[in-house]
Amino acid sequence: MRVAIIGGGPGGLYAAALLKRLDPAREVTVWERNAPDVTFGFGVVLSDETLGGIEHADPVVHEALQRDFVRWDDIDIGHRGTRYRSGGHGFAALGRHRLLRILQDRCRSLGVELRFATEAPDTGRLSQSHDLVIAADGVHSTTRQTHAHAFGPRVTEHRCRYIWLAADFAFDAFRFEIAETEHGVMQLHGYPFTAGDSTVIVEMREEVWRAAGFDTATPQESVERCAKIFADTLGGRPLRSNNSAWTTFRTVVNDHWSHGNVVLLGDAAHTAHFSIGSGTKLAVEDALALAACLREQPDVRTALAAYEEERKPVVASTQRAARASLEWFENLRLYLDQPPRQFAFNLLTRSRRVTHDNLRLRDARFTEAVEREFGCPAGTPPMFTPFRLRGLTLRNRVVVSPMDMYSATDGVPGDFHLVHLGARALGGAGLVMTEMVCVSEEGRITPGCAGLYTGRQAEAWRRVTDFVHRQSPGTAIGVQLGHSGRKGSTRLMWEGMDEPLPAGNWPLVAASPLPYRPGGQIPRRLSRAQLTDIREQFAAAGWRAARAGFDLLELHCAHGYLLSGFLSPLTNLRTDAYGGSLERRLRFPLEVFDAVRAVWPAERPMTVRISATDWAEGGTTAEDAVQIARAFAAHGADAIDVSTGQVVAEERPEFGRSYQTPFADMIRHEVRVPVIAVGAISSWDDVNSLILAGRTDLCALARPHLYDPHWTLHAAVEQGYTGPGAVWPAPYRAGSRRPRTGRTDDPRPRLTLSG
């Protein structure tokens, strides 16, 4: 086999060494445009997991790395004159020059041909003359650009400028330092990579960078000014450069990683922000996986498919974490006023990879100090602290999210709703929400949707609220009011989600005459008179909700339903007073809010659910969402329930664990209003992490409560918590400990005698 590798960075060199070691008969050639001692940046960080893979795959390389690694466990966070240290994290780093030298030497010892200061031939020629072409040619990959039609690259440029520098001394911990300057906030990321050297990355948003004059500064002036800004951190020592230049981070994603016998590796295939680790780590792991797949599979094409299948999910997970970390630093200014320890905890858990429970294992003393500062009583996890909204105090921070059940008859909730909502109330959540309850017959999504447009429906809901208040005292129950708009008159979800009814369809109304799906029913554009009628329908439903005994009311302005349709520029094309600017698009939803608030008891809270982004070009943005939330808060909303999407059928959501929580976080800190976070929050550890970091006030979970109606009580058991935030109903107390299952071998029988 003849293998051509484009790029002599760590990923390309390590792939070359592995492929040659596994099969000495392979002819492996590496082309690198730079000289062997030319590189950018300074230190490289590798995890213990990656090192374990290297040790298994090539002990020679691992041994050489071990001799040069600098190791440390602590992270220091400096902000406003305080510095907090968290331990137990475990890092290893070495100089980038040294890493390249180790890999170059290993390649030469194995017989790899290294061609430095040489441009690689065209990939078309290489793919004809070689069995495999590995493109490890970096973030600006020529190979990726040349074959963009096959790889499908998407490159996103972000908001911060940063520069890689070094200091001639070794930090004793990973350092995050915050500088608040007259131009804006700047941050330093620093870590040792030899016994006498540290990498120093200085980062700030583009507008701060320009305001500070870095856009016109010479390279040397930039270095000197960075050293001056962070003089306390550096102990007055200077910084040095290695052809360093200010740049913006680019996230690289490819739909496909291979094209014929050409495959992408490392930064050519993907990038992950430096704040969660090294791109070198991902490239080394790519090389390990590619070498393994080539060994295990019968031919190159099958091996490349297996490599992509193995690595893509891992990289996607890393990129989601990196994106969360990157955006946290982009929005750093939002968190500056947090209590110091909470700020530190927020920074440490920003990527969602380090969590409350994980950090407790690493550094229990630090985590307990954060909990005390937050106000957690001893032995109380953050999720079981109370929270007050207007006259309602919730005993914990868990919300059963609204979930459409499509099980009502003529809009009347029945036994199913009593059992469904009653079971979740008995399960310990602080607040249980109904599904979207429709304000009119025409406002239903499906024939199975529940309503509050008749007295009979209100009486049926009273049966549910009475059960919750009587059998689960301390649990609150809330109602979500909404109107389907253009998304109505469809089949039950399990019969065909968003599919029109086969018969008996009713006419739809919306802000503009646009169908939700191509070929779907076209709604009528609402007239001024019809808007008034619908506003009164909402108010009447709110009045019935109060008489039905609900503790909280939420106005549904999300997910493409009627009120959401007014907010999004993709679904509101009106040219009258209810369309055009965001202020005008807000007008009708705010009129509805005011009408409902006027009939809703003053002591009971009212919240609003919004879609913080449409996940579609030209739609609602995060910045718009802040303005929408601010408007509702100004009108008296007690909290904003922050969801995303489902507004247009052509959306492209960025799914992932807790993927919607950054929008809630932004609104909470920009608007200074309580928020409810939703979206793939699946564990009690996630809830504790989000609450303690100050990213949300309440967490709404849907599917976990379908899987386990007693999710909250079980979360308390698993954490050893027995306080007032999670009270087992008296008939269930015997089940408040996990049942033993199967045989146990503890204690073990004595089979030998001693003495």
Instruction: Return the closest-CA partner of residue 660 out of 693, 701, 600, 631.
Output: 701
Question: Counting beta carbons within 10 angstroms of the beta carbon of residue 296, is it exposed (0 to 12), middle (13 to 18) or buried (19 or more)?
Answer: exposed
Specify the DSSP class assigned to residue 580: S
CA 201 – CA 210 distance, rounded (Å) = 18
CA 184 – CA 180 distance, rounded (Å) = 6
The two three-digit tokens of residue 136, written as one number: 């490890």
- The dihedral through the CA atoms of 266, 157, 689, 712 has a sign that is negative
- The dihedral through the CA atoms of 507, 511, 515, 517 has a sign that is negative
Across 646-672, b (16+ Cβ under 10 Å) vs e yields bbbeebeeeebbbbbbbbbbbbbbbbe
User: Are 243 and 260 a contacting pair, CB within 8 Å?
Assistant: no
CA 271 – CA 138 distance, rounded (Å) = 9
Calculated CA dihedral for residues 468, 471, 476, 482, nearest 10 degrees: -10
The position carrying tokens 């449409």 is 614
Start-to-end CA distance of the chain, whole Å, equals 65
The two three-digit tokens of residue 662, written as one number: 């950054």
CA 199 – CA 277 distance, rounded (Å) = 13
Rounded (5°) CA angle 637-642-644: 140
The two three-digit tokens of residue 235, written as one number: 């102990």
At 45, which amino acid appears?
V
Rounded (5°) CA angle 213-271-196: 65
Contacts with 287 (C-beta within 8 Å, 6 or more apart), sequence order: 11, 14, 15, 18, 265, 266
User: What is the full DSSP assignment across 305-325?
Assistant: HHHHHHHHHHHHHHHHHHHHH
List beta partners, residue 132: 3
User: Are 71 and 91 a contacting pair, CB within 8 Å?
Assistant: yes
Question: Counting beta carbons within 10 angstroms of the beta carbon of residue 205, is it exposed (0 to 12), middle (13 to 18) or buried (19 or more)?
Answer: buried
- The dihedral through the CA atoms of 57, 63, 68, 70 has a sign that is positive
Active-site pick, 561, 578, 659, 721: 561
Q: Identify the helix (H) or strand (E) that includes residue 383.
A: none
Residue 252 CB-half CA count within 13 A:
23
Would residue 335 show up in a list of annotated catalytic residues for this protein? no
CA 728 – CA 567 distance, rounded (Å) = 42
Q: How far is CA 357 from CA 118, 329, 367, 682, in A?
A: 50, 23, 9, 14
Most distant CA atoms of the chain, gap in Å: 97
Point out the residues that are catalytic. 561
